[in-house]
Every structure is written in C-alpha cells, then in structure tokens.
Amino acid sequence: MTPTTTHLLTGLLDGPDLPDVVEIDGVTLSRERLVGAAAAWAASLPDEGPVAVLAEPRPETLVAVVGGLLAGVPVVPVPPDAGPGEVRHVLTDSAATAWVGSARDGVDLPQVPVRLDVSGGLPPSPAPDAAGIILYTSGTTGAPKGVALTHRALAAGLDGLIDAWDWTAADVLVHGLPLFHTHGLCLGVLGPLRVGGRLRHTGRPRPERYAETSGSMYFGVPTVWSRIAEDPASARALSSARLLVSGSAPLPAPVFDRVAALTGQAPVERYGMTETMITLSARADGERRAGWVGLPVRGARTRVRGEDGAPVAPDGQSIGRLEVTGPMVFDAYLGRPEATAESFTDDGWFVTGDLAAVDETGFHRIVGRESVDLIKSGGYRIGAGEIETSLLARPEVAEVAVAGVADADLGQRIVAWVVPSGTADEPLARALVEHVSTDLSWHKRPREVRFVAELPRNAMGKVVKKSLIEE
C-alpha cells in the first residue's frame, strides 16, 4: 500500500530514503531498512495485541515500536529496570498478548523476535482513534495507571511542538533518554519520524556523548543539563545547536543561566504529562525565561483556577490548579473509570494536579504538585518551587527539595532537604534559612533544614517528595 500523509509516521513513510535516519547502540538504520524491518515484524505478530516491548536503547526496540504503530497494534513500553512486580502489573493491566526483548522472570507471553535483515510490505493504516502507545504513570499515588494515547493524540501533540519549535526534516535530534516515557519515546523517537528528520540516540545522556554527537536539537532532563553545565567543554560543543530542550522536571534557574552562558543560547523549557503530551512550551522564535514553561502549544488550551473554581489573576504570582484540554489529551485510564472521572472536570478539562501561575502575556510558571508542593503554613499558601529556586542560588546547595510537614501550630511547617556541595553544619542551615527570609518573605523561610546525601528520584529524575515526608 502507498502511505499517506495522514499517518502518524508520515515523515518516515513519505520522505526520501535517508541512509541514516536513526543511529542507536552503534547501529545505523536507513529509512528503507527501518520501515522494511518494522513491517516484517508487524506481520509476524500473533494477534492484535497489545504487545509489551522491553524498552532498551537498541534498534530492535525502535523496530518494534514502529512496527506496532504501522500495524495498529498498541505498544506497551516496559522500563528495563522494572522489577518483577511492576512488570507483572503492567502486563496484566494492559492485557498484553506478546513480549519483545530478552527473557524476564515471570513473563510467560509469546516472544516475538525482531530481525533487522528482513523486509515486508506495509499494512493498512490504522484508524486515527486506535491506541498507539500505552504508557504507565509513575505510580506516586498507587499502582501505575495505564494511559492509552491514540494515533490522533500522538500526532496532535507532536504537531504542536513541530509548530512551536520550527521542527523540520532538516533537524537532527540528539538525546540519550529512556525509551519508555513521553519525553524519550513519544517526543524523542516519534517526533523525528513524524517530521522526517534524523535521530541520534547516545545510549546514556552523558555530557561527553552529547558533545561528540552532532545535532541541531538536544533533549535532556534537568539532571542532564546540570551535568552539562558542570562540564564547560561539553557545553560549549553544543553552541552550534538550534535548540536545547529541557523537560520532565523543573530546570533550576542557576543551571538555566549556566547553560545559556556556556552555549550562547537559553534552554527551551516545556511542560507536559503522560496523559497530555506537551501542552506548554517556550517557542523557538520567542522568549525563554528561567523557571517558566511558556505558552500553550497549537491546539492546547489551559486555565488556572483557585480553590473556589474562579480563574486566578494573570499576574505571574497568584497560584492555582492547572487544567488543560486539547486533541493531545488522553481519553481515559485503562480499566479505571473512577480515576478517570476524578481527573476531569464536568466540562471536560483534565485536572493536571499541578499548581501554576500565569502572567499577563500568557506565560506559565509551574509551581509544583498540588499534593506535595502547595504548602499551607500559618494561613499562607506557599509554593515549594520558589523556595527551592532561592536556595539553589546558594553555592553551598547542590540539590534541594522543599515540602510541608504536618505541624500542630502552623498546619504545615516548611522543611528543606538539602544535598550540600561541601560541609554541612548548623551555621550553614541557619544561613540558608536567613537567605530565604530576606530573598523571598519571612513566612516562606524553612522552619527546618535537613542535610541528606541524595534525594530520592524516580526513573524520570523527578524527586519523590512523598518518600522524604514519610521518612
């Protein structure tokens, strides 16, 4: 069959036969080889799936993902470091019927091997509303929930970024992100394949690997950019890039400034969720502001509402609950009607669970998760993010997380968990408290500073504050 431009992977199917459309794990795949191997693999599937794919950074993973999307068989990426319990939950919850990747204990599904040296004909294009990728949330509020993103939603989300970032077939994307979440897989793999560009996956997102891999766009999480900022030679090697994109967690302002100084351009920050793709981003041709995630992408709409349901003032300071809508938003959690109902308003907006502020120009600032980053202390509503940004400006602070801990007098008291860059002692703790009280407001100062060797993080690099609070 002749591919059409309505397909999610239109750039891959309709573009010229680039000899190096993908480089990963030391293997280079041409467009013809990738499509041929994916089509042949799709033809070998035992049924209509879903199919679970162990998301290792290997060419076989990409062939399986592309093959599933060509055949209309939902792909369920499984983190390579997932334990037996998590794997069992994902396979059972998604109702996967086949497995791709090395054998794992407890996985008794039929294995479908991937070959790179075969070729097959293209199957009919799947329906736009067919499930394309089934991703699982981080599970911070219970067992991970399955999020089925349709071909239509994936295409809409990518098209919003293609517009915001002026993303074209001439771009070469470089990253070393995991291939089991929105950032690394949907944006980092499907993005270049939809636009018709190239992908260079570095295996691991190390500064020296980014520096030695030529590209026009680089994706990284804040931990990656922090390490690049500490490696001036590698950072300067990226100065010829067109865009440096940071996401999946807030980028500390000092890292933003350091990367901008070393590379000659400010990073592009954006915001999204597993359930929504990317809904907010700074634009390639627009303002980039440290700590702010920009404007709604094409097709997305946002609103920020207070506890009373009324819109908060667009003054850049007032905090409210962020809600979004648009064609890139998912429809429902797999088998979780109650969780789905709780996540949408009566008029159909998705409740992100994140707190945000918006200014008069429509620029958004994410304050944090409503469950752990909105601190109600002494009658004040305080965002943890601005305290963290203030503390990160101090050279003695390598990393920090701020949250509210139950307090009989204040309701919640502000606690800062600090990874020190040097010696940690009581005088430093007092100095950090004093710094916040003068940099922000007296009522925003930490009532307690706890020094720790490291902060607990999930696979995306996000700090798991509930673990800190529970400990």
Both 56 and 198 in one domain: the answer is: yes
Residue span of the structural domain in which 121 resides: 1-369
Both 66 and 85 in one domain: the answer is: yes
Both 45 and 104 in one domain: the answer is: yes
pLDDT in tens, 80-120: 988 888 899 899 999 999 999 998 888 999 999 999 999 99
Once rounded to an integer, what is the mean pLDDT over residues 245-257?
Answer: 88
Q: How far apart are CA 336 and CA 94, in angstroms?
A: 12
pLDDT higher at 463 or 235:
235
Q: Are 245 and 219 in contact (CB under 8 A)?
A: yes
In 259-348, DSSP assigns E strands to: 268-273, 277-281, 295-296, 301-305, 320-325
Q: How far apart are CA 24 and CA 26, in angstroms?
A: 5
Question: Would you say residue 300 has pLDDT above 80?
Answer: yes
For 256, the token pair is 């933003």
Q: How far apart are CA 430 and CA 433, in angstroms?
A: 5
CATH of the domain at 126: 3.40.50.12780
Res 1: pLDDT: 30
Query: Half-sphere exposure of 302 toward its Cβ, with a 13 Å CA cutoff?
Result: 31
pLDDT in tens, 143-185: 789 999 999 999 999 999 999 999 999 999 999 999 998 999 9
pLDDT above 70 covers a percentage of the chain that reads 97
Question: Would you say residue 441 has pLDDT above 90?
Answer: no
Res 4: pLDDT: 38
Both 161 and 30 in one domain: the answer is: yes
- Cα–chain center distance at 45: 29
Q: Are 286 and 331 in contact (CB under 8 A)?
A: no
Both 213 and 362 in one domain: the answer is: yes
pLDDT in tens, 24-69: 999 999 999 999 999 999 999 999 989 999 999 999 999 999 999 9
Query: Domain boundary at 352, 369, 386, which?
Result: 369
Q: How confident is the model at residue 460 (pLDDT cuts 50, 70, 90)?
A: low
The string of DSSP letters for 147-201 reads EEEEHHHHHHHHHHHHHHTT--TT-EEEE---SSSIIIIIIIIIHHHHHT-EEEE
For 287, the token pair is 């303002």
Query: Domain boundary at 315, 346, 369, which?
Result: 369
Domain count, the chain: 2
Both 438 and 334 in one domain: the answer is: no
Both 130 and 152 in one domain: the answer is: yes
> What backbone torsions phi and psi does residue 323 show, to the nearest 5 degrees?
-125, 145
CATH of the domain at 423: 3.30.300.30
